């Protein structure tokens, strides 16, 4: 006899599917612009945002967005120095934000904090308010993404060509950092800070071998992410494994199969 899932399962499913749709096109751009590690650094800065939010007693989604934006600003400055390559500078910031975040959370007084839920998310603890954030904020994110899609694709393809053709690279880039920060903050609740970028990057990787155009890749990435969410939640419920990591396992499995099939086909 089939049992209808309980409400918390539905909330988890709706939250994760919403996130999948929001994150897919942004994830493609992250992959095209080789920003996986940048995104990783921004999301770990979110941990610092959690600590500040707890200390200042403000909404954590808000404080995480602020921290990620601040980190994006610092990264822009770091990318101007020419002493060490950008990935090394990112390595510095990535670890600094993680260490500072964990230390800061430990120092913040207040209720006992479950660090694990921030690091790996707790998809089954999603509340109705979270769903408003995901679908309300998500609608804004999707609208801005659609509006900036064409300049972002052109800048990813060839920045000089796009600039020479009249695109000012600054606005789309700044807006993209902002969108990334919002998605990171929202995704933190579901998959956690350490796995946020998987939600962005892995579906795009899975979609690449099946795509001929950028738009198709974005749509397919969304479809892959939704499939991964469903499989992951099912895996989690049937095996008692935590939700966020289960979703990421499912996503990575799909991406691996897609990459493997894609490279075999090209032989």
The residue from 53, 137, 138, 151 that contacts another protein (CB under 8 A) is 151
Please say which residue, 106 or 261, places its beta carbon nearer to another protein.
261
Binding flag, residue 217, another protein (CB under 8 A): yes
Q: Which residue's CB is nearer to another protein, number 120 or number 199?
A: 199
Quick one: which segment of 91-99, 177-185, 208-216, 231-239 binds another protein (CB under 8 A)? 208-216
Q: Which of residues 158-187 bind another protein (CB under 8 A)?
A: 158, 160-161, 163-165, 167
Q: How far apart are CA 267 and CA 255, in angstroms?
A: 19
The answer to whether the CB of 203 falls within 8 A of the CB of 231 is: no
Element containing residue 170 per DSSP (H, E): helix 170-191
Applying CB under 8 A, does 211 fall inside the site for another protein? yes
Asked if 198 touches another protein (CB under 8 A), the answer is: no
Pull the structure tokens for residue 59.
Answer: 């909404």
Residue 95 or 216 with smaller CB distance to another protein? 216
CA–CA distance, 244 with 264 (Å, rounded to integer): 30
- With left for phi above 0 and alpha for psi between -120 and 50, is residue 85 left, alpha or beta? beta
Nearer to another protein, 3 or 160 (CB): 160
To the nearest whole angstrom, how small is the minimum distance from the Cβ of residue 166 to another protein?
A: 9
Q: Is 261 in the site for another protein (CB under 8 A)?
A: no
Positions in 220-239 near another protein (CB under 8 A): none
| Piece of the chain touching another protein by CB under 8 A; list 72-80, 129-137, 152-160, 176-184 | 152-160
Q: Which of 204, 195, 207, 205 is nearest to 246 (CA)?
A: 195
Task: List the one residue from 216, 256, 257, 260 that touches another protein (CB under 8 A).
Answer: 216
Of 44, 17, 5, the closest CA to residue 232 belongs to 17
Burial of 167 by CB count in 10 Å (0-12 exposed, 13-18 middle, 19+ buried)?
A: middle
34: contact with another protein by CB under 8 A: yes
Among 145, 156, 236, 258, binds another protein (CB under 8 A): 156
Q: Which stretch binds another protein (CB under 8 A): 7-15, 41-49, 130-138, 211-219?
A: 211-219
Note whether 39 and 97 are within 8 A (CB).
Answer: no
Per the CB < 8 A criterion, the answer to whether 228 and 20 are in contact is: yes
Structure tokens at 258: 């897609």
Task: State the residue for tokens 């770990």.
Answer: 44
Q: Which spans of this chain sit near another protein (rule: CB under 8 A)?
A: 31-32, 34, 150-151, 153-154, 156-158, 160-161, 163-165, 167, 208, 211-214, 216-217
């Amino acid at each position: 006899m089939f049992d209808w899932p309980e409400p918390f399962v539905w909330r988890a499913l709706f939250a994760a599917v919403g996130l999948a749709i929001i994150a897919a096109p942004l994830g493609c751009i992250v992959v095209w612009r080789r920003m996986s590690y940048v995104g990783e650094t921004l999301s770990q800065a979110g941990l610092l945002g959690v600590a500040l939010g707890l200390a200042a007693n403000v909404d954590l989604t808000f404080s995480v967005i602020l921290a990620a934006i601040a980190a994006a600003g610092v990264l822009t400055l770091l990318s101007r120095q020419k002493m060490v390559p950008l990935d090394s500078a990112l390595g510095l910031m990535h670890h600094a934000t993680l260490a500072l975040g964990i230390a800061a959370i430990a120092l913040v007084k207040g209720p006992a904090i479950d660090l694990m839920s921030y690091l790996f998310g707790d998809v089954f603890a999603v509340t109705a308010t979270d769903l408003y954030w995901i679908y309300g904020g998500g609608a804004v994110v999707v609208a801005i993404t659609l509006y900036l899609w064409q300049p972002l694709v052109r800048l990813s393809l060839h920045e000089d060509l796009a600039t020479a053709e009249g695109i000012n690279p600054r606005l789309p880039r700044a807006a993209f950092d902002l969108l990334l920060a919002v998605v990171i903050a929202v995704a933190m609740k579901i998959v956690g800070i350490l796995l946020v970028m998987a939600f962005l990057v892995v579906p795009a990787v899975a979609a690449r071998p099946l795509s001929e155009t950028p738009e198709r890749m974005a749509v397919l990435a969304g479809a892959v992410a939704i499939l991964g969410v469903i499989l992951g939640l099912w895996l989690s419920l049937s095996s008692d494994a935590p939700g966020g990591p289960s979703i990421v396992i499912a996503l990575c499995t799909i991406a691996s199969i897609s990459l493997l099939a894609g490279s075999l086909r090209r032989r």
